[in-house]
Amino acid sequence: MVFVNAEVSPRPRRNSAAQLLEAVSQILTERNSTEVSLSDVAAASNLNAALVKYHFRNKEGLLLALVRRDAETALAQLNSLVEMPLAPEQKIRIHVSGIINTYARHPYLNRLLHELLESKDEAVVRELNAFFVKPLATAQAALLRQGVEAGAFREVAPMHFYLAITGACDQFFYSAKSLKYAFGVPEIADGMREAYAEFVADMAIKALRKG
């Protein structure tokens, strides 16, 4: 929880926004769902549902802010990775694990991203792309360029790489029911996620290697 402003004031304390986000995050994690009502969030956070409107306008605004909160941590790590003195292949491997670990840490995040990218409110779609997809794509493009400059990677279209790798990572989380019914895997066991991350990282690196 982030205590942005602890002083007592007649306006809602600014940390009530962080409390609401933490409450909705916990509810969605427990339910393994993206369905939640404003009164659920109010009850779990001991705050008034009117505060949601004050901070986030409506439920979609609250969910968008939750994605922003979770994405900020992941994007900060990715931007540090770009600056690290590591071999280009090693950075791609860490990046792929980072995507998969971010989805694993916030079980609702993958579904929520998809739902908000489908929002009927075009402003929501634009905002989500601006604070999440574009910075992610920009950092990825930097990783690709570093590899090309080091003589390790061939030139590929960053958009192709983005679509293929995020699509491959997404599918693991999106397809739990298919793993169950089509592959006979009733639930994600220890090590399955790591094994898949390794497969995708290997695939990404081979797609980038010269020759």
Summarize as ranges the residues that interact with a second copy (CB under 8 A): 114, 117, 125-126, 129-130, 133-134, 137, 156-157, 159-160, 162-172, 174-175, 177-183, 185, 195-196, 199-200, 202-204, 206-207, 209
Question: How near is the Cβ of 126 to a second copy at its closest, in Å?
Answer: 5
Q: Which is nearer to a second copy, 21 or 78 (CB)?
A: 78
Question: How near is the Cβ of 52 to a second copy at its closest, in Å?
Answer: 25
Dist CA 91 CA 146 (whole Å): 10
Q: Which is nearer to a second copy, 104 or 185 (CB)?
A: 185
What residues contact residue 148 under an 8 Å CB cut-off, 6+ apart? 154, 155
Q: Which is nearer to a second copy, 77 or 166 (CB)?
A: 166
* Backbone Cα Rg of the chain: 19
Question: How near is the Cβ of 154 to a second copy at its closest, in Å?
Answer: 10
Helix 49-56 vs helix 38-45: angle between axes, to the nearest 10 degrees? 110
Amino acid at site 72:
E
Amino acid at site 43:
A
Report whether 16 contacts 55 (CB < 8 A): yes
Q: Which is nearer to a second copy, 76 or 163 (CB)?
A: 163
